[in-house]
Chain A
Amino acid sequence: MTSNKNLKIKVEDLTLIFGNNKTEALKLLNKGLTKEEILKKTNCTVGVNKASFEIFEGEMFVIMGLSGSGKSTLLRCLNRLIEPTDGDVIINGRNITKESNEKLLDTRRTEMSMVFQNFGLLPHRTVLDNAAFGLEIRNEEKNSRLQKAQEALETVGLKGFENQMPSQLSGGMQQRVGLARALANNPQVLLMDEAFSALDPLIRSDMQDELLELQSKLKKTIVFITHDLDEAIKLGDRILIMKDGIIEQIGTAEDILTNPASDYVKAFVEKVDRKNIITAGSLMFKKVAACHIHKEGPKAAIHKMRDLGNDVLPVLSEDRTFLGLVWLRDCLAAEKKGEKSLSSILKSEVPSVYMHYTVEEMLPLITESRAPITVVDENTGKFLGIVTQSSLIIESTRFDKNEIIELKEKAKEQ
């Protein structure tokens, strides 16, 4: 995802004020007045309030917020379709906000393309000519631009539709044309403004999948705007949540779901089906006691379990590879028999998962035996931690243990 962090876009203290008295409003904003106070005093609306963030190369960065949150305005400041009132947008190390109009046109023509909610296609041109529009604008020679447009159309799966008019296509297909037009320019940065919001849910989901697939090949830097948290979670390597022009939180889907930075984010996040998002990695207990098979026998295991008030422990090899679980009752039996090693009572057929497994995927692993689910490293098989069954149940049902006991009792009474 963002392991190889090459800074692509840097936004610093970006502020956008709508209204006639921007200078005054900006002064008040710098003094720390709120949006409402500024509106009252100057009749100006603060669209984006001192936004700072960084986007890395090859990252799918989602900006999420409800309508009026300033997300689309923020996006338009990145290519100066809307002129920011204050602050800097630095793309590829160049400060876009300070660029001359000529240079700006050049940047728009070569470095960043945009995809629009309602497609923004030219109704009087064929699909092919629409896809070639960006190239035409930068005065590319006809044959070469048509060829590039053709390739872009093939990339988005529109081969054979070149000579149709946009109105003959469905919404999903029209948006593919929009995407092809953006890709034909071969930009480094794609700005997508609610690109899938006008599509019906099934098509939208398809388009999301295709965008992810495309992105895995093309590795563009994508800034994607949406009002839909599910879409944000599905697409975003990182998500920025905006409210009233202010950035509430930036983080991965999981960061945001597990540690919402504010009540606003929390309220948002609660509506999401967490089962698909919360992973083993975030649920697991990391510093768990374990037995090491090369040095600990049944006696040592019993001792550890009693210390912890536990009746099961993971067993690891010398290099911390996960081998299985031992149960207290088996240890007691083995101790009676005088066995010195855990290997005979080791239960190796127990569920283990990788960090990225979601709650949804782990639910079938819940067994009668209450055995915890072990999390191991995907590559080395080394032990990382455990996820208890009760935390899985809490995550998937949103009830805590006591509530579940209560529910059980109620069920029994009936």
Chain B
Amino acid sequence: MEKIIDIGKYIEIIVNWMTVNFKPFFDLIKNSGNAFIEGVEWLLLSIPFYIIIIALTALSFFKVNKSTAATTLLGLTLIYLLGFWQETMETLALIVVSTVTALIIAIPVGIWSAKNKMASKIIRPILDFMQTMPAFVYLIPAVLFFSIGKLPGAFATIIFAMPPAVRLTTLGIQQVPAEVVEAARAFGATKKQLLFKVELPLAINTILAGVNQTIMMALSMVVIAGMIAAGGLGEKVLEGINNLNIGLGFESGLAVVILAIILDRTTQALGKKK
């Protein structure tokens, strides 16, 4: 088919222009971001594996339930025995960094969008775009801006994982009963008091559901990010695919599943607790 309009060309021009003109900015992000990721990675890897296993098991035992505690204990032990401990911790570090960064952006944006109709009108389609654009596509500008490595992996992950947190924060705030908000205003609450004493506490469960979704999406993206040398389990999975190594593919895939189950159950339970 003949191409009649060429949007791609313009996007390319813009991205290339940004790559050239914002280079110092991107470098700054790259350096500080890498330091952040490596710091978390270093922390997770310097703690002996059994302490992490015990700590996570204890957390899910006290905060979630016994069966999740058992899954955590067995799952993490299995990962260790399979020899994927380092890759799993790398992946976990990337998830932690991406999720934290995504939430730092997503929650304020979500609040803003809940409070301001105009903001909501603009943010909504952007979120739709971010969520439905095939995840692999984010890898291209990520690599162009930051070359390959962990940081572009985190960058792509953040963009991909952010929308549910924004949406659910907005939803949570909007779901706060109008009368409760009115009551707070009637007693002379300032906007800040209203947000921190009423809206956020009442929206917290919904927001935490968004956090859970963000973590899960980050996990799925982290594997994809293995394609740009982000390391971790993603690379092992890719290695399995490239070499048609069924054993390696299965084992590394299993490690991802275990990590996913543990993260999901734990964050979900934390959300419900309150």
Chain A interfacial positions (CB closer than 8 Å to B): 79, 81, 105-110, 113-114, 116-124, 133-134, 136-138, 181, 185, 191
Contact = CB atoms under 8 A, between A and B. Distances in A.
B182 A81 contact: yes
Contact of A118 (B177, B189, B201): B177
Contact of A137 (B179, B180, B184, B274): B184
Contacts of B197: 122, 133, 136-137
Contacts of B185: 81, 108
Given A120-B177, A120-B179, A122-B180, A108 B202 contact: no
Interface in B180-194: 180, 182-190, 193
A120 B180 contact: yes
B59 interface: no
A137 B193 contact: yes
A108 B184 CA distance: 10
B258 interface: no
B186 A114 contact: yes
Nearest to A178: B183
Contacts of B198: 122
Contacts of A138: 187-188
B202 A122 contact: yes
Contacts of A107: 188
A121 B180 contact: yes
A117 B182 contact: no
A109 B187 contact: yes
Interface of B: 177, 179-180, 182-190, 193, 197-198, 201-202, 274
Nearest to B205: A124
B201 A79 contact: no
Given A116-B179, A120-B179, A105 B190 contact: yes
Contacts of B180: 120-122
A133 B92 CA distance: 41
Given A117-B179, A118-B179, A137-B193, A124 B201 contact: yes
B274 A108 contact: no
A323 B188 CA distance: 60
B202 A113 contact: no
Given A81-B182, A117-B179, A137-B193, A124 B202 contact: yes
Given A108-B188, A120-B182, 9 more contacts: A81-B186, A107-B188, A113-B187, A116-B179, A119-B179, A122-B201, A133-B187, A133-B197, A134-B188
A109 B188 CA distance: 5
28 contacts: A79-B186, A81-B182, A105-B189, A106-B188, A108-B187, A108-B188, A109-B188, A110-B188, A113-B187, A114-B186, A114-B187, A116-B182, A118-B177, A120-B183, A121-B183, A122-B180, A122-B197, A124-B202, A133-B183, A133-B197, A134-B187, A137-B187, A137-B189, A137-B193, A137-B197, A138-B187, A185-B187, A191-B186
A137 B188 contact: yes
A138 B197 CA distance: 13
A116 B137 CA distance: 52
Contacts of B183: 114, 116, 120-121, 133
Contacts of A123: 202
B45 to A, nearest CB: 39
B178 to A, nearest CB: 9
Contacts of A108: 185-188
A413 B193 CA distance: 77
Which of A107, A114, A120, A121 has the largest number of chain B CB atoms within 10 A? A120
Contacts of A105: 188-190
Which of A79, A118, A119, A137 has the largest number of chain B CB atoms within 10 A? A137
A138 B189 CA distance: 8
Contacts of B186: 79, 81, 108, 113-114, 191
B272 to A, nearest CB: 13
B207 to A, nearest CB: 13
Nearest to B201: A124
A109 B182 CA distance: 14
Contacts of B184: 133, 137
A119 to B, nearest CB: 8
Contacts of A120: 177, 179-180, 182-183
B109 to A, nearest CB: 24
A114 B189 CA distance: 13
A118 B190 CA distance: 22
B129 to A, nearest CB: 30
Contacts of B274: 124
Contacts of A119: 179
A119 B182 CA distance: 11
B270 to A, nearest CB: 15
Contacts of B189: 105, 137
